[in-house]
Amino acid sequence: MAQTVASPPATVGPERAREVAAPGYVKATWRRLRRDRLSMVALGLLVVVIATALVAPEIASRAFGLDPYRQTLAQRYQAPSMAHPLGTDDLGRDALARTLIAGRVSLSIGLVIALVSLAIGVPVGLASGFYGGRFDDLSNAVIQTLSNIPSLFLLILLVATFRPNTFMLAVTLGVLGWMGTARLVRGMALSVRERDYVLAARAMGASDRRVLFQHLLPNVFSLVTVIAGFDVAGGILAESGLSYLGLGVQPPTASWGSMLAASLENVTRAPWLVIFPGAAIFLTALSIFLLADGLRDALDPRLKG
């Protein structure tokens, strides 16, 4: 009777092993994000807006031969034409060139506001939710006190008194808006710190720093991403509101908010001066909101696939 010799198990080559291996966190996040078509459209639109803002001077001067600060009073309130694709404003300045340059200013303001707000709110909220006790009580008292101060009136008072430049205006808005970020992060940290893997890590002697940065922060990161997106978009809208009150970006510097505020009095005479900067604000804020929402789902480590 012939014996049957079992064949050795098939080996998997390194290339095949890489194919069957589970994707990394970044790759899995990108794969989940790509499935969200609305978020991908928002990402594409935002990339176009950012790229246009980065090369705005070159586009205005070289591609169209336009100067955003050149005044030609004889060409005031000209409707969109081949010479001026988006028309001209009350001083005869080209609206297209100013819209391109203003995008850089508005996006910079939103980004600085988000960075300042996150730099203060995330550490405070994370530490407050993790340590609790007296630190939590103290931070909550500070947050509650600052939140009860009418931020709009305080902001108007500060801006009207000191007349800060564009950068300091963005920093001021960020400093006055970190409390909401701290509250959201604190609530998430309070929930995460009671989960089994965090309790197990602490029971095994993991340091507070290790638990904070390797267990709490990755689970809070999806929330931080959404907050950052809201802060950027909210910063652009806040600057627009201040510009309407005459306290935003000061001329001759242009931002979408200042352009919109300056043209509201002439909305019936030159509606294009309201439509284009308003559309830029709306589309940019909408794309940021949609992308932030999609990233929240894609970055959530509890989601699979």
Comparing 214 with 137, the larger pLDDT belongs to: 137
pLDDT band at 303 (very low <50, low <70, confident <90, very high): low
pLDDT at 84: 84
What are the residue boundaries of the structural domains of the chain, listed by start?
50-71+88-299
pLDDT band at 237 (very low <50, low <70, confident <90, very high): confident
Give the span between the Cα atoms of 100 and 150, in whole angstroms.
Answer: 34
- Residue 100 reports pLDDT greater than 70: yes
The pLDDT tens digits for 203-234 are 888 787 888 888 788 778 778 888 888 888 88
Least confident range from 116-130, 174-188, 218-232: namely 218-232
Architecture of domain 50-71+88-299: Orthogonal Bundle (1.10)
Contact 143, 179 (CB under 8 A): yes
- Write down the pTM of the prediction: 0.80
